[in-house]
Amino acid sequence: MSNTRSWDTETLPEGEAKVAAVRDMFDAIAPKYDRLNRIISFRLDVRWRKRAVRDLALPAGSTVLDLASGTGDLCIDLSKAGMTPVSMDLSFGMLSADRSGSPRVQTDILRLPVPDSSVDGVMCGFALRNLLDLPTFFNELGRVVKPGGRIALLDVSVPKNRVVRWGNGIYFGKIVPKIGAALSDGPAYAYLPKSVAYLPEPSIMVSALQEAGFADAEHAQLSGGLTQLMVGTRA
């Protein structure tokens, strides 16, 4: 039997192979995921999540789905802001490592097990590139978020500045996989930098969000373009 991991491939997987690779990879790296995040981002990930919760701009008491919730970092921040988060992820390994104490649901977030117009908000942190079909995902957000509800979506980005882009490419393309190999899973942390190639241009994603019912959707680059944040209000 082959011991080859489904995410350890020369080219980025597509279709159902991508779904299986993403699920299996996050199951495998879940136990050390938080530690690696803090190390490779120099704790900037903490700042990015706090910014996303702030820009979600929902009042205390709001019910918010944290999609592709991982170990529950965003759920913790949402709870601190007085909101009621629900943790949803495809990876059972990640949900098992969830430290937030929020309700947990293992599910395909392209087919959310919640009624129409039933939640006040949705967040998704660093997972858009791992989804099989972004327009379907955005339409699903439009389905479940109440009119007047909000979304905040974080993911990695490609810096516009040529020098920053060059340095970021070396760091995430060469150094991060070595750190991952030393402390967790080398192929996983080689896949993660490459996976930014799955993401469409920001203007395409904003247009898709607008078509899904978030007419005021807008995009911002954070930390010189290392990360991107999209927010919007359900019309």
Confidence of residue 1 (pLDDT cuts 50, 70, 90): very low
Q: What pLDDT sits at residue 5?
A: 78
Percent of the residues in the chain that have a pLDDT greater than 70, as a whole number: 98
User: How many CB atoms neighbour CB 202 within 10 A?
Assistant: 16
Confidence of residue 4 (pLDDT cuts 50, 70, 90): low
Mean pLDDT value across residues 30-47: 94
Q: What pLDDT sits at residue 2?
A: 43
What one-letter code names the amino acid at 9? Answer: T
Sheet with 104-106, edge to edge strand ranges: 104-106, 84-89, 63-67, 119-125, 145-156, 227-233, 218-222
Q: What pLDDT sits at residue 3?
A: 55
- Hey, where are the domains in the chain? 29-160+189-233
Q: Tell the CATH topology of 29-160+189-233.
A: Rossmann fold (3.40.50)
Q: Tell me: pLDDT of 23 over 80.
A: yes
**Distances in Å between the alpha carbon of 84 and those of 59, 60, 175?**
10, 8, 37
Q: Tell me: pLDDT of 8 over 90.
A: no
Mean pLDDT value across residues 32-40: 93
Neighbouring residues of 228: CB distance < 8 A, sequence distance ≥ 6: 154, 155, 156, 157, 202, 219, 220, 221, 222
171-218 pLDDT, tens digit per residue, is: 999 999 999 999 999 999 999 888 999 999 999 999 999 999 999 999
Confidence of residue 162 (pLDDT cuts 50, 70, 90): very high
